[in-house]
């Protein structure tokens, strides 16, 4: 959940809605499913972050803060559950056209994103599958916990 509200216009209600949807819900899911996995002797949790977990973006202030919180939560829960055989990681997508971001992805913003993405385009949903399978795999991902994988076309690697 996000909103393109200018910073000084963000209401407490909007702030709480975004943080509750993105961060509180992730925390509750980690608690509920993490406990089941601990009791079962292991498992893997995959939280959904964002490129904004690492680098804040304009026009999505609270979204960026909540997704940074998801990354921090992921790392802390990973440390807590690792001794019980539960791995916790974070998939951080870059820019993928979706209903939730249509309000902020006007042509000028898309052009700016593409200029800052070395691959030179937005992502396609199937491109998230490989990283997801790796992070959830009981073999290939068995030594990966507390990590974030950015599937962003190089956006987080770009500077000037």
The beta strand positions in 57-130, using DSSP E, are 86-93
- The burial of 150, by beta-carbon neighbours within 10 Å (0-12 exposed, 13-18 middle, 19 or more buried), is given as buried
Residue 28 gets the label, from left (phi > 0), alpha (psi -120 to 50) or beta, of alpha
| Cα–Cα separations (whole angstroms), residue 143 to 22, 86, 128, 134 | 26, 11, 20, 11
The set of catalytic residues is 63
In the chain, the N- to C-terminal Cα span, in Å, equals 29
């Amino acid at each position: 959940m996000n909103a393109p509200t200018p910073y000084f216009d963000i209401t407490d209600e909007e702030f709480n809605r975004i943080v509750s949807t993105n961060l509180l819900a992730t925390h509750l899911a980690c608690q509920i499913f993490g406990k089941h996995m601990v009791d079962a002797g292991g498992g893997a949790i995959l939280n959904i972050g964002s490129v904004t977990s690492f680098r804040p973006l304009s026009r999505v202030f609270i979204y960026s803060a909540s997704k940074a919180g998801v990354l921090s939560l992921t790392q802390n829960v990973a440390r807590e559950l690792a001794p019980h055989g539960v791995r916790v990681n974070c998939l951080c997508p870059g820019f993928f056209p979706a209903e939730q971001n249509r309000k902020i992805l006007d042509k000028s913003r898309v052009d700016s994103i593409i200029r800052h993405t070395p691959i030179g385009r937005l992502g396609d949903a199937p491109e998230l599958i490989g990283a997801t399978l790796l992070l959830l795999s009981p073999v290939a991902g068995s030594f990966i916990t507390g990590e974030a994988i950015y599937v962003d076309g190089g956006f987080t690697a770009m500077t000037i």
